[in-house]
A and B are shown apart, each in its own frame.
Chain A
Amino acid sequence: MATITEAAPPAHPLRLSLRVLGNISPAFWTLVLLVVLWELAVQINQVPVYILPAPSRVAAEIIDYWPRLMINAGVTVSEILIGFGCAIAVGVPLAVLVTYSRVAERAIYPLIVASQTIPKVAIAPLLMAWFGYGLTPKIVIVVLLSFFPIVINSVVGLKASSAEMLYLAQSMGATPWQTFWKFRLPQALPYIFAGLKLATVLAVIGAVVAEFIGADRGLGYVIVVAGSSFNIARQFAAIIVISAIGMVFFVIIELLERLVVPWKNTAVVASE
């Protein structure tokens, strides 16, 4: 008779994220230790503030400069979000096209893959020339950087349906529409989310690099301006805020995945 050997834990997103946070704690203490060592090293050796400011100095800078940091962070975040949204809007439908059309697969897909050899940062100045110094070139760079993992993972995911599964759908008389929504797309979701998570990291990089090259606002701009006046503490302040944005962004996608793909994290197997 069938019995469950272990009780299946409810796959509640909150509970799972708490478990992940629990695992983070040793890493957190390592980080604290490193920051303390940094502080001590700077204090003891009296490192000049224009070379390496102590963490306490950076923290003070974050507090002092908080309003300006937040205004610029808002600019960077909006570039990231709009660009990331566009990357999804372009990437996923393109993946569907490549999956369903042999012609598209052979005519477009190799070019997408080959285009990855172009260092996108190198074409950023070109984009500035074409689109000016406003929001547009930043968004274009974010899209260029982040859409590739979205496309590739979506294609792999959409093709992950086994021949048997598609036969099964056919034997039920499924329309192509039903086959897509009820079989292929859910099958692809874990892959798509893997792509999205990769893309979050690249989107942040894209936005900051674009701001390095030509901007009058944003955290990348803050770093460039602070650097030109040897304000290292402010540079660190901006870096920390950027990192925080990246982490929050990643965690949001991770939580979204747990909501949308809850079956991925239930791994308790019952036995006969």
Chain B
Amino acid sequence: MNDMSMNVEAAAPVKPHIRISRVSKTFKGRKGDVHALSDIDLTIGRGEFVSVVGPSGCGKSTLLMLLSGLTPYSLGKIEVGEKLISSPNSDVGIVFQQDVLLEWRSALQNVLIQAEIRKAPLEAARERARELLKMVSLQDFENAYPKELSGGMRQRVSICRALLHKPPLLLMDEPFGALDAMTRDQLQLDLLRLCADNAMTVFFITHSISEAVFLSDRVVVMSPRPGRVERIIDIDLPRPRRLAMREDLKFTAYTRELTEIFKGLGVFREEV
């Protein structure tokens, strides 16, 4: 199980996977322009798990949309691999907070839509879809409709869908934000397992400081209005990560550090 460990040095080769240089995003609003992101600089190595934490309105979801190419940026440059992002980038897997499953398709069919749209060979895809569903303990629910699945199961199907085509980059926008705490823990473990088996870079947006620390190699702290990168913290915890690690001193030191940063930003106010 040692090959599961990913350390930052080994995963970040000379050529980074993602390079975001001086990127800004301005939305045209009715009451003038809204600066969502300002002067973002961020480099992510291949195979790295990077989380972005920040309060609502700090533009972290916008940053994810820019990376996917689904929203154009106003200024700067985003490179993913060798590609300059200027149009929708289909070399990614995306998971949103809403699972966005297609209600008219079974779990397996929902995963397979990825291959159908891409016109990939269906037989091989079906095999891989089954494998993925098995990895998240959904092998008995292949033929269930989304309506028959719980929230956690639905989100697991949507993660499998995002991974079917073995994307080099997985984008996740608060994927566990709508789940209860226990389901959330389980899905975090499922995600880590999938990451270990599928070499890929993960760009993970969350509100939860402990979730970010638990999953990531690095945590990017963003400050609101306009969103900018406040700090980047390396998480030096061994892999595979275990739930019990969350009580370790090293872990809590990270979460405390992050909490202090947000306090400094005025995100948390504690009355004395």
- How many residues on chain A are close to B (CB under 8 Å)? 30
Q: Does A186 contact B (CB under 8 A)?
A: yes
Residues of A within 8 A of B144 (CB): 8, 270
Residues of A within 8 A of B189 (CB): none
B92 and A171 form a contact (CB under 8 A): yes
- How many residues on chain B are close to A (CB under 8 Å)? 37
Q: Does A120 contact B (CB under 8 A)?
A: no
Q: Which segment, of B1-9, B146-154, B229-237, faces chain A?
A: B146-154
CA distance A267 to B148 in the complex (A): 6
Residues of A within 8 A of B149 (CB): 269-270
Q: Does B117 contact A (CB under 8 A)?
A: yes
Give A230-272 as 1s and 0s: 1 = Cβ < 8 Å from B's Cβ atoms.
0000000000000000000000000000000101001111111
A270 and B148 form a contact (CB under 8 A): yes
Q: Does B252 contact A (CB under 8 A)?
A: no
B156 CB to closest chain A CB (Å) equals: 9
B98 and A162 form a contact (CB under 8 A): yes
Residues of A within 8 A of B138 (CB): 2
Residues of B within 8 A of A172 (CB): 90, 113-114, 117-118
Residues of A within 8 A of B152 (CB): 272
Q: Does B88 contact A (CB under 8 A)?
A: yes
User: When the two chains form the complex, which single residue of B118, B141, B146 contacts A2, counting CB atoms closer than 8 Å?
Assistant: B141
B104 and A268 form a contact (CB under 8 A): no
Residues of A within 8 A of B90 (CB): 170-173
Q: Does B125 contact A (CB under 8 A)?
A: no
B248 CB to closest chain A CB (Å) equals: 27
A117 CB to closest chain B CB (Å) equals: 31
When A and B form their complex, which 9 residue pairs have the shortest distance between CB atoms, in order from nearest?
Answer: A173-B90, A172-B117, A186-B104, A164-B96, A170-B88, A263-B104, A174-B117, A164-B100, A171-B94
Instruction: Give the interface of A toward B (CB within 8 A).
Output: 1-2, 4, 8, 162, 164-165, 167-174, 178, 182-183, 186-187, 189, 261, 263, 266-272
